[in-house]
Structure 1
Amino acid sequence: MLKKLNLVTAGIQVALVAGAVSSSVAVANEQTEAKSVERIQVTGSRIKRVNLTSPTPVTVIGGVELENQGITNVNDLLAEMPQASVGLSPENTTSYIYASGLNTTDLRGLGSERTLVLVNGRRFVPGSVGDTAVDLNNIPTSIIERVEIATGGAAAVYGADAVAGVVNIITKKSFDGVEVDISTVKPEQNGGEDYSFSITGGQELDKLSFITSLNYTKNESYAKLDRDFYRNSMRSIANPSDTGSKDGIPGNIVLNGQTALARYSEKGDFFAIAPGADKTRDVYLNNHFAFQEDGSLQPFNYGLGLIPDPNSAISDLAAGRYFHDEYNKGDGVFTQGSKSYFRTPLERVIASAYGTYELNDEHALTFDATWSKTDSTTESGPTFFAYKIYRDNAFVSDEMGNIMDSVEYKDKDGNLVKGIDSVTLYQANSNLWGDRNYEQEREVFRSSIGAEGIINDDWSYSAYFQFGRVEQDTTWTGEVLEQNLLNAVNSAVIDGQTVCVDRDSKGKIIGQIAGCVPFNPMGATSATAEQMGYISTVATRFARHDQAVFAATVDGILFELPAGYVSAAFTAEHRREVAEKTPSENMEKGLIFGNSSLPMHGEIEVDELSMELSVPLLVDEFLALDLTFEGAYRYMDYSVTGGDDAWKLALNWGITEELRLRVNRSKSVRAPSLGDLFAPSSTQYSSGRADICRADSIKKLSDDYKYKQNIIRNCQADGLPEGWMPSSEWLAGGSLEGSIVGNTELKNEVSNDLTVGLIYTPEFIEGLDFTVDYWSFEIDGAIQYFGRTDIIKYCYESESIDNLFCKNLVRGENGDIEHFYQRPINSAQIVKKGYDLESAYRFDAMSGEVALKLAATYIQKDTQNSTGRADDLRSFTGLTDDSPRWKGRFTAVYSQDESVYALTVNYRHSTVDDKDWTIEANNFNEVSSYTTVDFMYKSYVLEDLQLRLGVSNLFDKEPPRTPATFDSGEFYDVNGRRFSVGMKYNF
C-alpha cells in the first residue's frame, strides 16, 4: 500500500464488529490503536485527517453487520436505520410500471432524490432513466467493507442532491483467496423465498492487488392472498348508522373478515336502466344482468351481498361492489388482492472487480468495473373495458334485445318511450387477452480508472474518470389496442354481413371500418387468431441513461498554527448525463389500454469547483482539549439551471476527554433531474368544466373569503371582464385536455441545514458512549406538481397573475381555457427537525464479548407547504405516512471464540392517519406501535467453513390492523416469520 494513504485503521475494524457506531465516538475509544495511521479519510469530508472526529454525524455500518442479519441487499438494512425511510423497494413498487423492483434509500424521509449515494466516494449511475436515485440492487453485498451514513447537507463537499445526507458504500479493494457464500430464506407461509449465491476471489501481489465478485440473488414474489392476515381482510365502509356531521357517530367504520369483489364480470355484464332513472341501489340491483358462457343472461350474482352504503343514490360502480367468499364468488372479477402482490419478483446478477497497481511507493493506478442485470415482473389484472352496445349491434341476442326493449320511461316532453338504444357492457376477461404483465430488465455497466499518489510529505492527489450506463427494457404483455377493440365490438349486420361500423355522436351508422375484424365479447371465453391479431398487442419501451464523470482532488497541509496544521482539499469535477427513452409505436401514439409514452431526450452538463478547509484554533487549553473550525464552498455551473453554490461552516470542540460538541451549518442544493427538466409532453384529461373566473363561481364566494378580491382583480387582469362566463360550447364539453411535461425553467432546490451534537464518553465506564444530535432542514423551492384545479386556484388567488401557476394555463380569445400544463415548479417549502440519539456499550462477559447499541430518531417537526402560502401549510408529524415521532433500533451481539449470536429489535412509534380527526370521520384513526425481533447465529464449524442460522420477525408480527395499514408492506413486515440458512467457505 502507498505510504500515508491508508483509509482504514485497525481500530475502526475492531469497532465495526459491534455494528454501526458514530465515527466521532469510535475515535475516543480507539485513539491509542489508531496512532499508526497518519491521515484518514471519512465520509463528509475530502480532507484526510489524523483522527476520525468530524463536525458531521457519521454512522458506520460494518460488512459484518450485514452478515449478522443475513442481508443480501444493503437497502434492507438501510431501511431499518432510524435516520432513513423506505424509498422504493420490491414491496412498494408492485403497481409501478417503470420502477418495478427498484431498491432506493431515503434519508430523513425527504425523498430518495435528496439522498446522494456514493460508491467509494464517487457517484453511481442512477437506477432509473432520467432519475437521480441509485438502485442499490447493483451493489454486491459480498464485497462491502462498510457503509458510512453522513446525515446533514453535504453538497459543499460532494455536489448537488446531498441535501438529506450521503450514503457512502465502501468496498473491499483487495482480497487474498476465494470465498463462496450460499444462503436461502424460507417464510413460514407460502411464497417470498430468497436465494443467494456469491463467489469472491482476489490476490495481493507485489504491486497488484485486486478483488472480483460474482453475485446471484433471486427473490420470489408472494401474493397478498398468500398471507393469512390478508385473507382475514378489512376495509372501510360508509356507516349505515350515520345520520349527519354532528351526531357523534363515525361516518366510516371498519368491516372485518370480508373480501370485496367489484363488477366487470369475466363474460360481461350490464345495467338495463332507463335514461334519467333514479340511481338507487334497488334500481341497480333489479336491473343488473350477466352473460353466461353459452351467451345466455342471468341476473348478476352478488355473492354474499352488496357492500352496505347509507346513501340511497349511488353510482353504478358502487352498485357493483359486493362481498364474497370461496364458495360464493359471484360474477365479479376484481376481488380484493386477487391480482395483487406484496413483493415484486426480482432476479439479479452482479459481476464486479476492483484493483490497485502500484507504480512505485508514491503513485498507483486504480480501476474498477461493475456489471449487473436485474429482472422483475409486475402482474396486474386483465384489461377491463366499458363498451357501448347499441340495440342494432350484430351481437345483441334476442334475450338481450328483449331486456333492452322492455325498459320504459318518459322523455323530457312527458311522452312514454319503450326501449333503450344502448347499454354499457362491463368486462374483464383474462382468458381473452391474458393478465397484464410488466416485465422490467435493467442492465447497468459502470467502470472507472484513476490515479492516486503523494506529491510530497504534506500533499496527496487523486484523479479518476468514470462512465456509467443503465439500459432499461420494459415489455407489456396482455395489452390490447384500445380503439381496435372498440371498433371490433361495435359491429352491425349490413347486406347480410357482420362488419365493424362507424357511428356519429347519436349512434347512427355512417360507414364501415376497413380492415377491422368483428368480435363478440358477450359470453366470450376465447378469440380467434385473426381477432387476436387485430386486437391484442405487446408494447415496449427502451430507455438509456449515460453518466460520465471526471474529477481530481488534491489535499494536504497549508501551514502550521500553534494549535496544529491547517489542512485543505481542492476538487474540480465535470459531469455529463444523457437520458433517452424510445417507446414502441403503439405506446407513442397512445393506442394501448391505459398506457402511453413519448420519446425523450435530455442532457445536462455541470462543472464544479470546491474547496474545503480545516483550521485548528485551540489545543490542550482549559475546556478546550481541541477546537477546530471547518469550512467548505462549492460552485456549480449547470448547463440548464445555471450557476449555484453550496457551503458549510462547522465547529468541532473537544471540551474534555469525555465531552465533545459539534456544530454544522450548511447550504445544500438539489438539482432537477433530467426527468423533471425534459419529460416529454403526454396528454391527460381533467374532468369537469370548473373555472374560478366564471361569474357564477365568483358569486358563490362569501364576502369574507380571504382571496375573493385577488380572484376578481386577477381575472380582469387576465382579460376577462366583470360578469364573464365561458361559451356554451365550452360548458357543454366533456373532459378538458391538458399535458404533463417537464420544465426546463426549473431552478435548484435550496436547503439550509443545521446540526448540533454532543458526544459523551464517560471514563468511569469503559466502552460506553452516548451521542445526541439536533438536526434541522429548511428546503425552499422544492419541486412540486399540481393538477388543473390547483393550477387555476393558485393562479388567480395569488397577488398578481405574474406567477408560476398562470404560466401553465392557456386561454382562447374568448377567455375559454383551451389547455393546461402540469409542469413541475419550484413552489414548495419543506421543514423537518428532530433528534438522533445513539448509545453503544461494549464489555466482556461469559468468556466472550458483548456489544450493545441503541439508535433512535425523534421527529420534532415535519411540515410541507406546496405553495408557500400560510393557508397551505400542512403538518405530517406523527402521521402514519412515514413520519412517526420515534423510530428505534437495538442490537445485541455476543461473540465467543468462533461463534456470534446477534439480536436485533426494530421499533416504530404509534401514529395517526389524520391529525384533524374527529369521531365524525371514522373509528380507525389510531395506528398502534410496531416492533419486530430478528435473531442470527453463526459459527465456524471448521477452520474455513462458517454456518449461519437465523429467524426474521421472530414473533411473526403482523402489520397494525387498520384499513390503511393492515396490508402495508412499505413500513411494516408483511412477509411474516421466516427462517434463513447460510454457509460461507474460504479457500
Structure 2
Amino acid sequence: MSRATQFSLSKLAIAISSCSLLLTANTHAQEEEIEKIEITGSHIKRTDLAGPSPVSSLSAADIANTGATDLIALFAKLPISGQGTFSTQANSSDDTANGGSSVSLRGLGADSTLILVNGRRVSVSPFAKGIDTAFVDINNIPVSAIKRVDILKDGASATYGSDAVAGVINIVLRDDIDGAEISAKIGGTADGGGGEDNLSIVWGNTTDKSNHTFILDYFSRDEVLYADRDYAKSSNQSALNPNDPFATDFRSSSGIPGTIALKSDPTNRIPDTFGADVCPAEDIVGTLCRYDYAPYMTMVPSTERFSFNYLGKYEINDSLRAFAELNGQNSKVTIKGAGSPSFNELFMDGDNVNHPFANMPEHEFFGQDLTMRRRMVDIGNRKKEVDSDYLRTVLGLKGEVGDWSWEAAYSYIKSKSVERGVDGFPNSRRVQEAIDNGSWDPFEPSKNSQQALDFIETTTTRVGKSTNRIWDAKISGPLMDISTGEVMVAIGVEHRKETISDNPDDQFLRGEVFGTEATQANGERDNTAVFAELAIPVMDNFEMQFAIRHEDYSDFGTTTDPKVSFLWSATEDVSLRGSWGTAFRAPSLAQLGLGRTDESPNLVDKLRCDAIGNINKACEPQEYTAIFEGNPDLGPEESQSYNLGLIYNVTENLDFSVDYYSYDIENIIDSDTQHLLNTKGLDSSVVQRIPTGIAGDPGEIVQIFDRFQNIGDLSTTGLDLDLKYRLPTEMGDFKFSYILNYVIDFKDERPDGQGGKRTNIAEGDFEQPQYRWTAGVDWSKDDMTAYLGINFIDSFKQQEAVQQDGMSDVDSMMTVDTSFNYHGIENTVFTVGVTNLLNEEPPFAYHDFMGFAVNVHSGQGRFAYLQASYKF
C-alpha cells in the first residue's frame, strides 16, 4: 500500500470517528417527513415527483444496466450529451486536464452544465480543460455511492445560479443503508488494454434516531495505447487507408535524428542522412524527416482511484436534525506520449565540434549556423503522472417550524492536483548548452553518453488547487391558502468563496520546457445570492411557479435572473408543462487569470496555401504553436431559454413525454485560432512568420498570439422524446424504453472579420450530430433479469478545415450493450455483461492522426465484465 493510500485511509478513519462522535445514536424516519420532498429543479417541497420542469432520473439499477464503471461512461451515452462532453479518452502529454471528465448538456459546454451533489455545488477541477474550460470532474464520484442521477433539462440559473445555463445534473448519494454489501467487478476489452477492476464495500445502520452510511470504493483501469487499435496505430492514416485519397499523413515534421536547416533560412532544409545515425528512408517525405508518434501515445491513460463516502443524520428532537457528508478520493493517472519534439528552437554554430558538415567543404551547409527539427527520443518517451486529492465536507441542520421546513449548511470542497513530467522532457536551456559545448550531438544520438542525456533531461511539476467555501440557508412552506390549494414559497441565501491556482514550475515560466503544454492561472471571487420561488395553484389542475435569483459577484457586479414555469394537468393522463428563464455565466477564473500558455493546435495556413499551393504540405493540417493569455476585460455570457412539453399516459402500460427546447446565448466566451489565422494571418502582431525565399510566400508560421474573447452568439432548438412501455407476459415482464434528442437547429455565430457574422458551427457539422437515441428492453422473471440496449449517434460532417469535394461524412455509429443478472442465491447477485457487443469501430474522421472523433465516439471496443454482489 502506497504512503498516499495509507494517508487517505488515516484521514478516513479520523473523519469517520469524528462524525460518529458528532452524530452518535440513531434516528427514525417518520412518515410525515417524506410526505413532501424536494425535487431537482425547485427548492419548494412537494408531494408528487412531477413538476413544471423536465427532469429525467436514472436509478442505480439503470446505471448498472449500461455497464458503466464510472459516470462519464454513463453520461457519454445520454442522448442529451453534446459537443464539449469529454472523458479521459485522448488524454495525452499535451492535454491540460489529464484524468478529468465532464459532460456538456445540449452541446453548450461543460462550463454551462451545473453539477450538483445532493443538491449542492462542488468545486471545479484545478486544471482547466483546453486551458480555459472550468469543469467539475465527475470522476470524483464512484458509481457505487450513487442512489440516482437527476438530469434537469432546462435552464436553471434562477434556481441554482450561474453555470446552470444548459441544465443541471444532480448526483444523489446513497444514504439509507442498513446492513452491508460488498461488490467486485472485473472486465477487459477485446482488442487489448483497458482492463478494469472495481471493489466496493458499503455498510450502514438505521435506527430510530440516526442513520449512517459508509462507502469505500477502489477502481483501476489499464491504459489503452493507440497502438492497440488497428485504425489508430499509426499517425500515417494514408498508409493505414491506402485506397482513400483523402487520408492524411499526420506524422510529425520533427523526426529522429531529424531535419537539418539553415538558421538564417529554416525553410532551406534537408533530412539528416549523414553520419552513422540517419533518418529511415520510409520517414523521409520531401525535405523533412518525419516521425510516427501514434504508437507511443495513450488513448486512455491508466488510472487508479480510491474513494470514501460517509453520510449521516441524527435526530436531535422531533423538529431538529443534524446531517453530515464526507466525500473524498485519491486518484492517480499516468499519461504517455512520444518523445518531445523541437521545431527550430535549437541551434548549432558553424564552427561547432559536432557540425555534421565539418568535413564536407563542398556542401552548402558547410560552416553555416544550423537549426533543426528533432525528436528527443534518446531521453525516452514522455510520461506524466497526475496525483489528485478531492475532499468535500458538508455539515448542516434542518428541521420544521410548524408547516415550514428549513435547512442551513456549510460546505468546504477542495481539489488538489500535482502533475509531474517524470520522463522524456528536455530542458531547452541545458540542451542548447550541451550542443554549444559539444557534450551532446543532436545529429548522432547513438554516440551520446548517459551523462549527457541525464544533463539535458528534466522533471516538470505543475500544482493546481481549487476550493469552494459555501454557506447556504433556505426555508419553504405554505404562504397562504386559496380556494384551489396552498400557495407555496421558498426563500434562500447562499454565499460562496471560490479560489483557483494552477502553477507550473519555473522552467515552464521561463519557456525552457518544450514538448508539452501547461497553463498558469490564479484567481478568486466571492458570490452572494438571494433567491425565492413561488408556486401558485391557479386552478385545481393548473400550477404556476415563479423563481428569481439575484447574485452579486466580487469581480462582475450583479445579475438578476427570473424563471416562470407551469404545469397543466389537462386530464388525468395528459399534462402540459413549460418554462422560460434567463441565465448568466461569469467568465471562469481560468479565462480571466490565465498566464502565458502555449498550445499546439492542428491548423491549416490557408493564406500561405492560397499563395504558394501545397509546397511542403502548406495546405494540410499542421501543428503550430499558439500562445494564449487570459483576458481580464471579458464580460459574462447572458442567455434565455424556454421549454414546452407534453406528458401523455396513453395506457396503464404506455406513456411518453416530448419536449421542445430553445436556448439563445449572447457574448459566448471562446477563442477561434483557425479563424484568427484565416483573417489576420498576415498581421505580424498576431502571427509571427519567417521568410522562405519562395516568390509570393508570406512565410512559415513560428507562433500565433491569441486570447479569449466574448466572441459571438449561440442558439439551439430541438426535441426530447422519452417513451416507455411495460409488457407483462408469462415469459416474464418486459420494459421497453426509447430516448431521443433531435437537434432542429444549432447555430454558433462568430465575427466574419468584415463587421458581420458567420456560422462557425451548425447542426450536423463536425462533432455535432443532429440526433442521438438509445433504446432498451429490461426483462425479469423469477430470479433472473436481463437488459439489452442500443445506442445510436447520427452522422456528421468532417471538420471544416479538412473538407474536400467528394469527402464522405463521419458515419453514424450504433453499439449494443447487454447484461444478465442471476438472483437465485440468497443475498447474492451475479452479473455478466458486455458493452459494444458487436465490437463496432468508431467511424473514420480525417481531422487528426487517431482517425476518429474522440470527443464523440469511443475507441474502447467490446468490453466484457463479470460482477458479483453480496449483502449481509
TM value normalised by structure 2: 0.85
Equivalent residues of 1:829, 1:867 under 8 A apart: no
Instruction: Quote the residue 1:290 is aligned against.
Output: 273
Inter-partner Cα distance in structure 2 for 1:391 and 1:588: 30
Instruction: Describe the shift of the 1:164–1:683 C-alpha distance in structure 2 as closer, same or farther (beyond 3 A).
Output: closer
Inter-partner Cα distance in structure 1 for 2:655 and 2:237: 47
Report the CA distance between 1:660 and its aligned residue: 1.0
Instruction: Quote the residue 2:750 is aligned against.
Output: 866
Report the CA distance between 1:596 and its aligned residue: 7.0
Find 2:325's aligned residue among 368, 378, 389: 368
One-letter amino acid of the structure 2 residue matched with residue 116 of structure 1: L
Q: Secondary structure at the match of 1:162?
A: coil
Query: How do 1:920-939 and structure 2 match up within 5 A?
Result: 921-939=804-822
Instruction: Quote the residue 1:472 is aligned against.
Output: 417
Inter-partner Cα distance in structure 1 for 2:81 and 2:253: 41
Q: Secondary structure at the match of 1:520?
A: coil
Q: Which shifted more, 666-675 or 842-851?
A: 842-851
Inter-partner Cα distance in structure 2 for 1:788 and 1:843: 53
Q: Does 2:636 match 1:748?
A: yes
One-letter amino acid of the structure 1 residue matched with residue 580 of structure 2: R
Find 2:645's aligned residue among 750, 757, 768: 757
Structure 2, unaligned runs of 5 or more: 1-27, 612-623, 688-702
Query: How do 1:202-601 and structure 2 match up within 5 A?
Result: 202-231=204-233, 235=237, 253-255=245-247, 262=252, 264-268=254-258, 270=260, 288-291=271-274, 295-296=275-276, 300-303=279-282, 316-317=287-288, 320-321=289-290, 334-335=291-292, 337-385=294-342, 386=344, 387-396=346-355, 400-403=357-360, 405-407=361-363, 419=366, 421-431=368-378, 433-456=379-402, 458-477=403-422, 478-491=424-437, 518-525=439-446, 527-528=448-449, 530-532=451-453, 534-595=455-516, 600-601=521-522
Report the CA distance between 1:261 and its aligned residue: 5.0
Instruction: Describe the shift of the 1:528–1:953 C-alpha distance in structure 2 as closer, same or farther (beyond 3 A).
Output: same
Instruction: Describe the shift of the 1:78–1:596 C-alpha distance in structure 2 as closer, same or farther (beyond 3 A).
Output: closer
Find 1:183's aligned residue among 185, 194, 217: 185
Query: How do 1:108-123 and structure 2 match up within 5 A?
Result: 108-123=106-121
Find 1:828's aligned residue among 712, 716, 730: 712
Report the CA distance between 1:112 and its aligned residue: 0.4
Structure 1, unaligned runs of 5 or more: 7-36, 241-249, 308-313, 322-333, 409-417, 492-497, 499-517, 620-625, 693-699, 701-735, 798-805, 810-818
Report the CA distance between 1:749 and its aligned residue: 1.2
Report the CA distance between 1:533 and its aligned residue: 5.1
Inter-partner Cα distance in structure 2 for 1:563 and 1:382: 72
Report the CA distance between 1:970 and its aligned residue: 2.6
Find 2:535's aligned residue among 593, 614, 617: 614
Q: Identity of counterpart residues, as a percentage?
A: 25
Instruction: Describe the shift of the 1:289–1:141 C-alpha distance in structure 2 as closer, same or farther (beyond 3 A).
Output: closer
Inter-partner Cα distance in structure 1 for 2:235 and 2:377: 24
Inter-partner Cα distance in structure 1 for 2:717 and 2:96: 33
Instruction: Quote the residue 1:199 is aligned against.
Output: 201
Q: Which shifted more, 335-344 or 185-194?
A: 335-344
Instruction: Describe the shift of the 1:70–1:278 C-alpha distance in structure 2 as closer, same or farther (beyond 3 A).
Output: closer
Q: Secondary structure at the match of 1:225?
A: helix
Inter-partner Cα distance in structure 1 for 2:263 and 2:517: 35
One-letter amino acid of the structure 1 residue matched with residue 280 of structure 2: N
Equivalent residues of 2:218, 2:307 under 8 A apart: yes
Query: How do 1:720-731 and structure 2 match up within 5 A?
Result: none
Instruction: Quote the residue 2:842 is aligned against.
Output: 959
Equivalent residues of 2:520, 2:596 under 8 A apart: no
Inter-partner Cα distance in structure 2 for 1:264 and 1:821: 22
Give the number of aligned pairs.
799
One-letter amino acid of the structure 1 residue matched with residue 124 of structure 2: P
One-letter amino acid of the structure 2 residue matched with residue 392 of structure 1: D
One-letter amino acid of the structure 1 residue matched with residue 68 of structure 2: I
Inter-partner Cα distance in structure 1 for 2:252 and 2:508: 28
Inter-partner Cα distance in structure 2 for 1:792 and 1:266: 32
Instruction: Describe the shift of the 1:790–1:187 C-alpha distance in structure 2 as closer, same or farther (beyond 3 A).
Output: closer
Instruction: Quote the residue 1:890 is aligned against.
Output: 775
Inter-partner Cα distance in structure 2 for 1:96 and 1:296: 32
Residues 172-227 of structure 1: per-residue CA shift (max 9 Å, x gap): 21211111110011111221111111001111123120100111111111111212
Over aligned residue pairs, what C-alpha RMSD do you find? Answer: 3.5
Report the CA distance between 1:878 and its aligned residue: 3.9
Q: Does 2:736 match 1:852?
A: yes
Inter-partner Cα distance in structure 1 for 2:252 and 2:127: 36
Residues 907-960 of structure 1: per-residue CA shift (max 9 Å, x gap): 011222268998xx2432322221000100011241011111011111111111
Instruction: Quote the residue 2:54 is aligned against.
Output: 57
Q: Does 2:501 match 1:602?
A: no
One-letter amino acid of the structure 1 residue matched with residue 260 of structure 2: F
Q: Does 2:762 match 1:877?
A: yes
Inter-partner Cα distance in structure 2 for 1:69 and 1:382: 38
Find 2:791's aligned residue among 884, 906, 912: 906
One-letter amino acid of the structure 1 residue matched with residue 772 of structure 2: K
Report the CA distance between 1:268 and its aligned residue: 4.8
One-letter amino acid of the structure 2 residue matched with residue 155 of structure 1: S
Q: Does 2:579 match 1:664?
A: yes
Query: How do 1:677-696 and structure 2 match up within 5 A?
Result: 677-682=592-597
Inter-partner Cα distance in structure 1 for 2:430 and 2:369: 20
Equivalent residues of 2:546, 2:562 under 8 A apart: yes
Inter-partner Cα distance in structure 2 for 1:274 and 1:58: 62
Residues 628-675 of structure 1: per-residue CA shift (max 9 Å, x gap): 111100000000011001110112111112211111011011121111
Equivalent residues of 2:277, 2:443 under 8 A apart: no
Inter-partner Cα distance in structure 2 for 1:916 and 1:519: 40
Instruction: Quote the residue 2:6 is aligned against.
Output: none
Instruction: Describe the shift of the 1:880–1:220 C-alpha distance in structure 2 as closer, same or farther (beyond 3 A).
Output: farther
Report the CA distance between 1:758 and its aligned residue: 0.8
Instruction: Describe the shift of the 1:96–1:359 C-alpha distance in structure 2 as closer, same or farther (beyond 3 A).
Output: farther
One-letter amino acid of the structure 1 residue matched with residue 821 of structure 2: K
Instruction: Describe the shift of the 1:4–1:915 C-alpha distance in structure 2 as closer, same or farther (beyond 3 A).
Output: farther
Inter-partner Cα distance in structure 1 for 2:706 and 2:726: 55
Report the CA distance between 1:594 and its aligned residue: 4.1
Inter-partner Cα distance in structure 2 for 1:951 and 1:468: 36
Inter-partner Cα distance in structure 2 for 1:277 and 1:138: 47
Q: Secondary structure at the match of 2:159?
A: helix
Q: Does 2:104 match 1:106?
A: yes
Instruction: Quote the residue 1:72 is aligned against.
Output: 69
Equivalent residues of 1:895, 1:901 under 8 A apart: yes
Equivalent residues of 2:233, 2:295 under 8 A apart: no
Equivalent residues of 1:479, 1:538 under 8 A apart: yes
Equivalent residues of 1:274, 1:420 under 8 A apart: no
Equivalent residues of 1:957, 1:973 under 8 A apart: no
Inter-partner Cα distance in structure 2 for 1:40 and 1:111: 30
Equivalent residues of 1:590, 1:597 under 8 A apart: no
Instruction: Quote the residue 2:20 is aligned against.
Output: none
Instruction: Quote the residue 1:726 is aligned against.
Output: none
One-letter amino acid of the structure 1 residue matched with residue 352 of structure 2: N
Instruction: Quote the residue 1:944 is aligned against.
Output: 827
Report the CA distance between 1:82 and its aligned residue: 0.6
Asked which structure has the greater CA Rg, the reply is 1
Inter-partner Cα distance in structure 2 for 1:788 and 1:852: 45
Q: Secondary structure at the match of 1:446?
A: strand
One-letter amino acid of the structure 2 residue matched with residue 443 of structure 1: D
Equivalent residues of 1:94, 1:100 under 8 A apart: yes
Inter-partner Cα distance in structure 1 for 2:44 and 2:596: 45
